[in-house]
Amino acid sequence: MKGRIALIIDPKVSGPLSLVVEFSTLQTYGVEKIFLLQQSVSSLQTDCDHIVYLTKPSMAWMKTIAEHVQMYQKLEAVTAAAPPGPPGSAATPNAPKHFSIVFIPHRYVVCDRILEEEVSSVARGVWGLVDIHEFPLHLVPFENDVLSMEVEHSFRDLFLDGDTSLLYYAAKSLMKFQQMFGHIPNIKGRGKHAQTVADMLLRFTQEVLLTPPWHLMTRVDEAASRKRRELRQGGTPEEPQPQYISALILLDRTVDPLTPMCTPLTYEGLVDEVFGIKNSKIDVDEVIVNPAKDKDKPPERAAAGPKSVKIPLNSSDRLFAEIRDINFSALGPLLHTKAKAIDKNYSERDKAKSLQEIKKFVAKLGVLQQEHRSLQIHTNIAERILQITKENDFRKRLEFEHRLLSGVDSGDTRYLEDCISRAEPIGKILRLLCLLSYTTGGIKPKQYDSFRREFLQTYGYNHIGTLSNLEQLGLIKKYDGSPPFASIKKTMRLIVTDVDEKDPKDIAYVYSGYAPLSVRLIEAAVKGEWQLKELRKLKGMHS
């Protein structure tokens, strides 16, 4: 694509896209300007030659894009009717433009139809005016070892609305993995949707095996072809291609609906609870990054409120990589130790006498400054979290959760009732209701009706649908027999009483005594205990 390019990006795409490519890379391909797609098309005017829309397959955005293209068509018509400018004059916003739409990760037929039929005073539809493409960005790398499909409302779409298209794309993504890293010999799973993905993956694999070799130029096949050529030429064959992935474990989210309802107690978990991690970044007050600016802020800016800044949270920050998974109770001493180590390294500048010693210190000064800045930021974040964890309400919430998980005095629901009467955040209330329902095998009918009445009176009757959806999913229900969690808890050893939070030997340290069922299932698969009689009793087990 020759010429100057303007990218107009769906806000829901911009975050994941920033994890895949940097703006400096886009600039090397001619991208000059980037806009966020918005309803007000007048703010999207540009003099670039090409306009490329990167968007999710949204019907609402198709109407906006059609309106935008039609706006430029109208401006071009005005320009064509005007007298021509002098030779060699620069391009103007009204000059003819080339439009492209790139759907991420795939296009829908209904989006094509809207582009065909959206009517304005200029034209009927813009279908013939835009090029349509797909960018199958199914897996977004959040870390070196964490990939996400980043499908918004995927749980609702799959388990509530019954839209199983997500399973197809999950299987396709895993198939791409196999083509890159080799065949995965062992597949284990639990849940009907896990079984569906496994079946699709096996079918895709069989289809590839039946395809002529020239269509299978994956990394593994290229290595095999290279070895055959070397043998024919009398050369020394290379080492065998290693098997990158030995097993795949698939779990439905409904296998372990309990864990997301609990309050995590690791540093990263609490950062997400307090600030909300999105696309590996958090929005925090500027004072957390640079406390000195808060003191020097003019009165008019102070009255306007704190400025928000984004802080990336990933393993490129060495300190965050070290502290992200530790229990918050062990964080303070570790940060203190890090601060002393940095001070000790800074003190070396006073000991540097010779030119060689000074040169050696200057060489590592940049790393020291970066570590010092990271320590300052994470210390300030930890202090903000500590203010919340010291509150009486936070301690009461943890006590309530632990009582439900352990089954001790689980009938005492006064804390939950008080939270509803105080109109605490609705997300917190719904999590606690789901936790109560799951751990007790359902809420007693009389108590259930009381919770429902108080909830709707506090948060509004527009949430009748919210409760209905949770009931349909089985996340909230009336008591209908003995609680299954009691047997699962014992079988899978989900409650651990002797947890060492500072030097943990068990995953239960993450919740200070509760081990997630999903993690226990993975541990069983890794240890070769997947076929144990106790595990086979768990509904939905497949392997």
CATH code, domain carrying 53: 3.40.50.2060
The pair of three-digit structure tokens given for residue 359, joined into one six-digit string: 């040169």
Secondary structure of residue 99 in the 3-state scheme: strand
Q: What percent of the chain has pLDDT over 70?
A: 83
Same structural domain for residues 272 and 209? no
Secondary structure of residue 487 in the 3-state scheme: helix
Same structural domain for residues 41 and 112? yes
- Would you say residue 242 has pLDDT above 60? no
- Would you say residue 221 has pLDDT above 70? no
- Model pLDDT, residue 294: 57
Helix ranges, 1-58 (H): 11-18, 23-27
Does a structural domain hold residue 447? Answer: no
CATH code at 376? 3.90.830.10
Q: What is the pLDDT of residues 262-288, one digit of tens each?
A: 999 999 999 999 999 999 999 999 888
- Model pLDDT, residue 237: 45
- Model pLDDT, residue 540: 43
| Residue 23: C-alpha distances to residues 9, 19, 104, 267 (Å) | 13, 11, 18, 30
Q: In whole angstroms, what is the distance from residue 341 CA to residue 179 CA? A: 46
Beta bridge partners of 283: 310
Which residue, among 72, 50, 69, has the nearest Cα to 4 in the 3D structure?
50
CATH code at 152? 3.40.50.1910
Does a structural domain hold residue 455? Answer: no
Provide mean pLDDT across the span 82-89.
59
Q: Which residue has the higher pLDDT, 415 or 82?
A: 415
Task: Give the confidence band of 408 by pLDDT, cuts at 50, 70, 90.
Answer: confident
Same structural domain for residues 151 and 211? yes
Enumerate long-range contacts of 239-246, CB under 8 Å, 24 or more apart. Answer: 241/182, 242/182, 243/182, 243/185, 244/181, 244/182, 245/177, 245/178, 245/181, 245/182, 245/184, 246/184, 246/185, 246/186
Domain residues for 321? 261-291+307-390
Same structural domain for residues 144 and 123? no
- Model pLDDT, residue 543: 42
- Model pLDDT, residue 183: 85
- Would you say residue 291 has pLDDT above 60? yes
Number of domains in the chain: 3
Does a structural domain hold residue 234? Answer: no
Q: In whole angstroms, what is the distance from residue 302 CA to residue 465 CA? A: 42
Same structural domain for residues 110 and 11? yes
Secondary structure of residue 511 in the 3-state scheme: helix
Does a structural domain hold residue 112? Answer: yes
The pTM of the full predicted model, rounded to 2 decimals, is 0.84
Does a structural domain hold residue 338? Answer: yes
Beta carbons of 50 and 1 less than 8 angstroms apart:
yes
Q: What is the pLDDT of residues 223-232, one digit of tens each?
A: 444 544 554 4
* Residues ≥6 apart with Cβ < 8 Å to 193: 158, 164, 167, 252
| Location of structure tokens 């009255």 | 303
- Would you say residue 235 has pLDDT above 70? no
Task: Give the confidence band of 212 by pLDDT, cuts at 50, 70, 90.
Answer: low
Same structural domain for residues 146 and 113? no
- Would you say residue 17 has pLDDT above 60? yes
Which residue, among 260, 225, 223, 228, has the nearest Cα to 240 in the 3D structure?
223
Does a structural domain hold residue 442? Answer: no
Same structural domain for residues 62 and 168? no
Does a structural domain hold residue 23? Answer: yes
- Cα 486 → chain centroid: 31
Same structural domain for residues 193 and 282? no
Q: What are phi and psi of 118, to 5 degrees?
A: -60, 120
Q: In whole angstroms, what is the distance from residue 422 CA to residue 418 CA? A: 6
| Location of structure tokens 């992200």 | 324
Q: Which residue has the higher pLDDT, 216 or 403?
A: 403
Does a structural domain hold residue 534? Answer: no
- Average pLDDT of the chain to the nearest whole number: 84
Provide mean pLDDT across the span 524-534.
73
Q: In whole angstroms, what is the distance from residue 31 CA to residue 24 CA? A: 9
| Location of structure tokens 């210390």 | 379
Q: In whole angstroms, what is the distance from residue 525 CA to residue 541 CA? A: 12
- Would you say residue 220 has pLDDT above 70? no
Task: Give the confidence band of 72 by pLDDT, cuts at 50, 70, 90.
Answer: confident
Least confident segment among 260-264, 382-386, 410-414: 410-414
Q: What is the pLDDT of residues 450-483, one digit of tens each?
A: 999 999 999 999 999 999 999 999 999 999 876 6
Q: In whole angstroms, what is the distance from residue 543 CA to residue 199 CA? A: 11
- Model pLDDT, residue 210: 63
Same structural domain for residues 59 and 149? no
> Helices (H) and strands (E) in the chain — how many of each?
25, 12
Task: Give the confidence band of 506 by pLDDT, cuts at 50, 70, 90.
Answer: very high
Beta carbons of 285 and 308 less than 8 angstroms apart:
yes
Same structural domain for residues 101 and 157? no
Same structural domain for residues 54 and 174? no
Residue finishing a domain among 331, 361, 390: 390
- Cα 213 → chain centroid: 37
- Would you say residue 30 has pLDDT above 80? yes
* Residues ≥6 apart with Cβ < 8 Å to 492: 515, 517, 520, 521
Beta carbons of 266 and 325 less than 8 angstroms apart:
yes
Which residue, among 3, 101, 2, has the nearest Cα to 52 in the 3D structure?
101
Q: What are phi and psi of 101, to 5 degrees?
A: -120, 125
- Would you say residue 355 has pLDDT above 80? no
Same structural domain for residues 39 and 112? yes
Task: Give the confidence band of 43 by pLDDT, cuts at 50, 70, 90.
Answer: confident
Q: Is 401 exposed, middle or buried (0-12, 13-18, 19+ CB in 10 A)?
A: buried
Task: Give the confidence band of 413 by pLDDT, cuts at 50, 70, 90.
Answer: very high
Task: Give the confidence band of 531 by pLDDT, cuts at 50, 70, 90.
Answer: low
Q: In whole angstroms, what is the distance from residue 4 CA to residue 63 CA? A: 25
Q: In whole angstroms, what is the distance from residue 307 CA to residue 187 CA? A: 49
- Would you say residue 1 has pLDDT above 80? no
* Residues ≥6 apart with Cβ < 8 Å to 271: 277, 282, 313, 381, 385
Q: Which residue has the higher pLDDT, 541 or 350?
A: 350
Which residue, among 116, 79, 110, 84, has the nearest Cα to 97 in the 3D structure?
79
Task: Give the confidence band of 312 by pLDDT, cuts at 50, 70, 90.
Answer: very high
Q: What is the pLDDT of residues 117-169, one digit of tens each?
A: 876 545 567 888 899 999 988 888 888 889 998 888 899 999 999 999 999 99
Q: In whole angstroms, what is the distance from residue 459 CA to residue 331 CA? A: 37
Task: Give the confidence band of 297 by pLDDT, cuts at 50, 70, 90.
Answer: low
Task: Give the confidence band of 527 by pLDDT, cuts at 50, 70, 90.
Answer: confident
Beta carbons of 392 and 398 less than 8 angstroms apart:
no
Task: Give the confidence band of 219 by pLDDT, cuts at 50, 70, 90.
Answer: very low
